[in-house]
Amino acid sequence: MKTRSEVERLGQRVVAALSDDLRKPKYRGDPNPLLGHCYVATEALYHLLGGAKTGATPMNVKHEGDQHWFLRLKDGSFIDLTSSQFKTPVPYAIARGRGFLTLTPSQRAAEVIRRVRAQK
């Protein structure tokens, strides 16, 4: 497993790879650059880290009227690449572990992963 700082650096690269075209239609064009990216960013980071074998768990919580996704790492800490989109703190304590919709990276996550790997 990568160190916390390595995970955070990888997370920064994931965020840098996000763009408006990767958002679902209801979020496209929103001035908040992170709004609508939590699922794809979390999914991409999860797969870049190595998936289930790393002990990371995709987490989901309803916050500010919408679903929000982030990762719980093996050590129990959270990595939330898009938390700054919110006006209030994310209630991590009430989040639940969830699986992604697909076992392999979705089309959007695969594009983020491709972009991250191209940054090298």
pLDDT in tens, 3-53: 899 999 999 999 999 999 999 999 999 999 999 999 999 999 999 999 999
Question: How far is it, in rounded angstroms, from Cα 44 to Cα 63?
Answer: 21
Question: How far is it, in rounded angstroms, from Cα 105 to Cα 40?
Answer: 9
Question: How far is it, in rounded angstroms, from Cα 103 to Cα 13?
Answer: 22
What ranges do the domains of the chain cover? 4-118
Contact 32, 90 (CB under 8 A): no
pLDDT in tens, 62-92: 999 999 999 999 999 999 999 999 999 999 9
